[in-house]
Amino acid sequence: MQTIRTTCPYCGVGCGVLATPDGGGGLAVAGDPAHPANRGRLCVKGAALGETAGHRGRLRAPRIHGREAGWDEALDLIARRFCETIAAHGPDSVAFYVSGQLLTEDYYVANKLMKGYIGSANIDTNSRLCMASAVAGHRRAFGSDTVPGLYEDLELADTVVLVGSNLAWCHPVLYQRLVAAREARGTRVIVIDPRRTATCDVADLHLQIAPGSDAALFNLLLAEISRRSEVCPDDLENIQEALAAARATSPAVTGLAHSQLRQFFDLWMHSDKVVTVWSQGVNQSDSGTDKVNAILNCHLASGRIGRPGMGPFSVTGQPNAMGGREVGGLANMLACHLEIGNPDHREAVRTFWNAPRMAQRSGLKAVDMFRAVEEGRIKALWVICTNPAVTLSEADRVARAIAGCDFVVVSDIMAQTDTMRFAHVALPATGWGEKDGTVTNSERRISRQRRVLTPPGQARDDWRILAEVGRRMGWGASFGWQHPAQVFAEYAALSGVAAGLGSDFDISAHAEISVAQYDALEPFLWPQSATKQGGRFFGDGRFHTPSGRGRMVAVTPRPPQPVSEAYPFRLNTGRVRDHWHTMTRTGLSPRLSRHLAEPYLELHPTDAAQLGLQPAALAEVTNAHGSAVLRVLVSDRVAPGHPFAPMHWTGETAPTGRVDALVPGATDPVSGQPALKSAAVAIRPF
Ligand code: SF4
């Protein structure tokens, strides 16, 4: 059989995959040596893709109220109910909740339908849970959501700082590249994390900071950069305010010894080339945007940005979180990095789309969207390629809200998920290996995902389903694509309009792309014109702010919400190495489940002894929001009082391992990202 070049559907590293179907529904998988992200490497999840493909558990036909239905009946019903709801209650009474695992073409069509035709911006994505604080921090500092650097910067750096990032488990191929560079050229690695994760195995320095004190630590670094006269104040906005806030920060809040702080400052400042990588430990916080800006401040102030081997670097959790940002999948963005709050941008997009009812303001972000569902303000909801009844904070409350919604459509590849059980209309979607499109990885590289396998039953591509609904709502001329290449070409043409308005996102060279060219499209960095800086941004000192200068942000660190007498432990949540999200695919592989087979609670020995919990006992973890029952893993990798539990496990009836049921609905006030890393809980033997 023919080998097809495609891209891994899991993390934001975006590895190239060589997939060879066996003709019987399975496929062999290898890393693509020609893909710049991974150069032939794959992690264990990517290597097991062949074991997780296939039709087990798949939804094969549309269902209406649980009975099998034809596509026409299902699509007519959706179009009619959305039209009726909009007519009766206005465009803001409907919402789409989508996913960083959608392909860019799916995202584009959903965004166009909601923001240009329905006339609301109530489309948000589970990427809100992953990198919204990075987006907001970039926009505050740079004037745009632009990742300045490239993966190769981790290999060119003298020092790599990893903040709130277990790169070894969550971005394994990037970690492998870092480890190889470290062996080749002695790269120093600093890990900043309240947990001692697998990534610490290669750390020259591990700073086990107090949870939530990242902003304080980087404020202290900024003050030290200033004290050592490294700051370039003329080049930056707001420098004095940022420095004043930094100098007012107390070292005590970090929980670190003076000697540890000194070692960190020395390593950072004695290295010309520093890359600071951050991930969910920074973003998933009720002060996540400030934490991001505290990091960006240090790179701006010291000029370590946008040049080979230096810069701040946000690594995204999902395969197309970046594509979603670019295409306007967030409720507060327009496509191609245009601003929904800018009348000129709205008008340009309206004109390009020939849109009858352009959204005029930001829509509801994820947590607020499900509050609106709960309160009956959202009366028709379409959930696409995600499982919010498990993964959103206060997951039980979210599940109850969806259950009470007047009309719920769920598009998914699986027949049974925690969210699917509330669907009035269930739509079978194609999954990885069955659909064609593009994704963008964490370094702004756009790659093709290609069709390798035959979809089960009547499954359809998400963009086709959305376009069909758009046609049935009366907008046939604007949703008439026949091939994803046509969607991509339209999107590329829109990026040319955006570039004319000053947007950095420009892929307009592909506006005339043919189906054959799309099929043959090689991975490429955007913007293609940025090659003068080796594909990096801001190394020339020019930013996308109105003044053209980088903008410092005065950050006053805020501690996380306090624990209480009733709920004395601060639960941290995250991922394990071999599973992905709610395990709809990785759960099919016994090999992947062997690493960590069941939901667990990593508990410090002191806490375990105090609670009378032996290793492998069951613990019940509770608070006002929910409960979970987890296997105890006694370990000094976590600090006393700060247990950890992974977020992958699902379940419809108690007891379950659904840890996001325990996470309160607090969000970052700027980005709207939920604070998934901090839940005050009680623990007792089960
Ligand atoms: Fe897939 Fe990420 Fe592993 Fe690469 S590192 S193979 S993209 S899960």
Out of 19-28, 231-240, 324-333, 564-573, which region has the weakest mean confidence (pLDDT)?
231-240
ipTM attached to this prediction: 1.00
Of 132, 101, 143, the C-alpha closest to 369 is 132
Q: What is the four-CA torsion angle of 407, 412, 418, 421, rounded to 10 degrees?
A: 40
Look at residues 189, 214, 199 and name the one whose alpha carbon lies nearest to residue 290.
214
Tokens at 318, concatenated = 């999902």
d(CA 673, CA 196): 25
Summarised one tens digit per residue, pLDDT across range 150-183 is 999 999 999 999 999 999 999 999 999 999 999 9
pLDDT at 235: 84
Q: pTM of the full predicted structure?
A: 0.97
Ligand 1 atom at minimum distance from 47 CA: 6
Note the pLDDT of residue 404: 98
pLDDT for 122 equals 98
Interval 395-442: pLDDT, tens: 999 999 999 999 999 999 999 999 999 999 999 999 999 999 999 999
Distance 399 CA to ligand 1 centre (A): 30
Q: What is the mean pLDDT of residues 279-289?
A: 96
Atom of ligand 1 nearest to the CA of 319: 7
Round the average pLDDT of the chain to a whole number and report it: 95
Q: 88 alpha carbon to ligand 1 midpoint, in Å?
A: 46
- The closest residue, in CA terms, to atom 2 on ligand 1 is 11
Looking at the CA of residue 172, tell me the nearest atom of ligand 1.
Answer: 5
Q: Which of 43, 279, 318 to mutate to test the pocket of ligand 1 (most atoms within 8 A of CB)?
A: 43
Please give the Cα distance from 111 to 102 (Å, whole number): 12
- Calculate mean pLDDT across residues 346-354: 98
pLDDT at residue 495 is higher than 90: yes
* 15 CA distance to ligand 1 middle (Å): 6
Q: Where does the pLDDT of residue 476 fall: very low under 50, low under 70, confident under 90, or very high at 90 and above?
A: very high
Exposed/middle/buried for 493, CB within 10 Å: 0-12, 13-18, 19+? Answer: middle
**pLDDT(340) > 90:** yes
Tell me, in angstroms, the distance from the centre of ligand 1 to residue 280's CA.
17
The residue that leads in pLDDT, 594 or 234, is 594
Mutate to test the pocket of ligand 1, among 6, 7, 15, 586 (most ligand atoms within 8 A of CB): 15
In the chain, what percentage of residues exceed pLDDT 70? 99
Q: SS3 sequence, 267-328? A: HHHCCCCEEEEECHHHHCCCCHHHHHHHHHHHHHHHCCCCECCEEEEECCCCCCHHHHHHHC
Yes or no: say if 41 and 344 are a contact pair by the CB < 8 Å rule. no
What pLDDT was estimated at residue 535? Answer: 85
Q: How far is the CA of 76 from the centre of ligand 1 (A)?
A: 38
Across 571-579, average pLDDT: 93
Ligand 1: distance of its center to the CA of 497 in Å? 33
* Strand blocks (E) in 318-474: 380-384, 407-412, 425-428, 437-440, 445-449
* 529: confidence class by pLDDT, cuts 50, 70, 90: low
For residue 580, the CA-to-ligand 1 centroid distance in Å is 10
Q: What is the mean pLDDT of residues 612-618?
A: 97
Pocket test for ligand 1, best of 10, 17, 179 (most atoms within 8 A of CB): 10
CA-14 nearest atom, ligand 1: 7
Instruction: Give distance in angstroms: CA of 317 to centre of ligand 1.
Output: 10
- Ligand 1 centroid from CA 324, angstroms: 18
Asked if pLDDT for residue 530 goes beyond 60, the answer is no
Pocket of ligand 1 (CB under 6 A): 8, 10-11, 13-15, 38, 42-43, 45-46, 171-173
- Listed range (166-170, 201-205, 322-326, 631-635) with the worst mean pLDDT: 322-326
- CA distances for 273 relative to 23, 150, 308, 548, angstroms: 49, 13, 8, 24
Residue 229's pLDDT band (cuts 50, 70, 90): confident
Contact indicator for 32, 452 with CB cutoff of 8 Å: no
Q: For residues 36 and 445, is the Cβ–Cβ distance under 8 A?
A: yes
Q: Exposed, middle or buried: residue 614 (CB in 10 Å: 0-12, 13-18, 19+)?
A: exposed
CA distance 307 to 536: 7
- Residue range 232-260: mean pLDDT, rounded: 94
When pLDDT is averaged across residues 42-46 and rounded to a whole number, the result is 97
Q: Of the residues 42, 174, 178, which should be mutated to test ligand 1's pocket, given the most ligand atoms within 8 Å of the CB?
A: 42
> Which residues are bridge partners to 58 per DSSP?
414
Q: pLDDT band at 656, cuts 50/70/90? A: confident
Compute the average pLDDT of residues 131-144.
Answer: 96
Q: How far is the first Cα of the chain from the last one, in angstroms, to the nearest whole number? A: 52
Q: Which of 133, 189, 135 is nearest to 166 (CA)?
A: 189
Which residue type, as a one-letter code, is found at position 99?
Answer: S
pLDDT of residue 534: 74
Among residues 286, 97, 282, 371, the alpha carbon closest in space to that of 674 is found at 286
Instruction: Say if residues 123 and 362 touch (Cβ distance below 8 Å).
Output: no
Q: Which atom of ligand 1 is nearest to the CA of 13?
A: 7
Band the pLDDT of 655: cuts 50, 70, 90: confident
Any idea of the CA torsion for 30, 31, 32, 33, to the nearest 10 degrees?
A: -120
Ligand 1 atom nearest the C-alpha of 38 is: 4
Among protein residues, the one with the nearest Cα to ligand 1's atom 4 is 15
233, pLDDT greater than 70: no
What 3-state DSSP class applies to 17?
strand
Tens-place pLDDT, residues 436-461 = 999 999 999 999 999 999 999 999 99
Q: What is the mean pLDDT of residues 92-103?
A: 97
Among the atoms of ligand 1, which is closest to the Cα of residue 580?
Answer: 8
Q: How far apart are CA 686 and CA 681, in angstroms?
A: 15
Q: What's the average model confidence in pLDDT over 280-284?
A: 96
d(CA 2, CA 19): 9
Question: Pairing mode, if any, of strands 627-634 and 618-622?
Answer: antiparallel
| Phi and psi torsions of 282, nearest 5° | -95, -50
Taken in order of first residue, the domains within the chain and their CATH numbers are 4-52 (3.30.200.210), 63-126+323-522 (3.40.50.740), 132-315+543-551 (3.40.228.10), 569-663 (2.40.40.20)
H or E element: which one contains 222?
Answer: helix 214-227
The single-letter DSSP state of residue 171 is S
What mean pLDDT do residues 59-72 have?
98
Q: 576 CA distance to ligand 1 centroid (A)?
A: 13
Q: Which atom of ligand 1 is nearest to the CA of 174?
A: 5
Residue 66 in tokens = 């649980």
Q: Per-residue confidence at 650, pLDDT binned at 50, 70, 90?
A: confident
Q: What is the 301 CA–ligand 1 centroid distance (Å)? A: 33
The pLDDT, as a whole number, for residue 231 is 77
Q: Whose CA is nearest to atom 3 of ligand 1?
A: 43
pLDDT exceeds 80 at position 532:
no
State in Å: Cα 528 to ligand 1 middle: 25
CA–CA separation, 676 and 400 (whole Å) = 19
